[in-house]
Amino acid sequence: MKNNIKESAKFYREVERLVLVTAGIRILDLGCWAGLELDEIFRLNTTARIACVDLSQKMLEILRIKHEDRLDSLNLITGSYFEVDFPSEEFALPFRFSRCIISDTNRSCRSTRRFFTV
């Protein structure tokens, strides 16, 4: 993705701004694909713990191979984030970088709102 989307540099700068350098920060990556954002997250915060949700088992396998040295920091979940059972912990940074158009924005907002720590 970094090489294919014109605005990707802007996106990755925003991820960097959002990732706090806090020991053990918990992050929820909805629609994680092959985990392209994880390189930057782990560069900024080596103690981050990330739950990665994606529909594609193949993409999660690519992520697993790419980050095999970080598997103790990752929770890989296959399925729709509208339907899967999520870990019970709260997340300091839940995000969804949409690679497709979701027609029901309200459903998307309702399903992700419960993960924010306030």
Number of domains in the chain: 1
Strands (E) located in the chain: 26-30, 49-54, 74-78, 93-96
The two tokens of residue 60 are: 């999660």
Residue 89: give its domain's CATH number: 3.40.50.150
The residue among 6 and 22 whose pLDDT is bigger is: 22
100 within some domain: yes
Confidence (pLDDT) at 103: 42
20 within some domain: no
**Structural domain range at position 105:** 30-113
CA–CA separation, 49 and 66 (whole Å): 16
Confidence (pLDDT) at 86: 83
43 within some domain: yes
Cβ 26 vs Cβ 52: under 8 Å: no
58 within some domain: yes
93 within some domain: yes
87 within some domain: yes
pLDDT digits (tens, 9 = 90+) for 67-118: 999 999 999 999 998 888 888 888 888 877 654 434 444 444 444 444 444 3
97 within some domain: yes
Confidence (pLDDT) at 107: 45
74 within some domain: yes
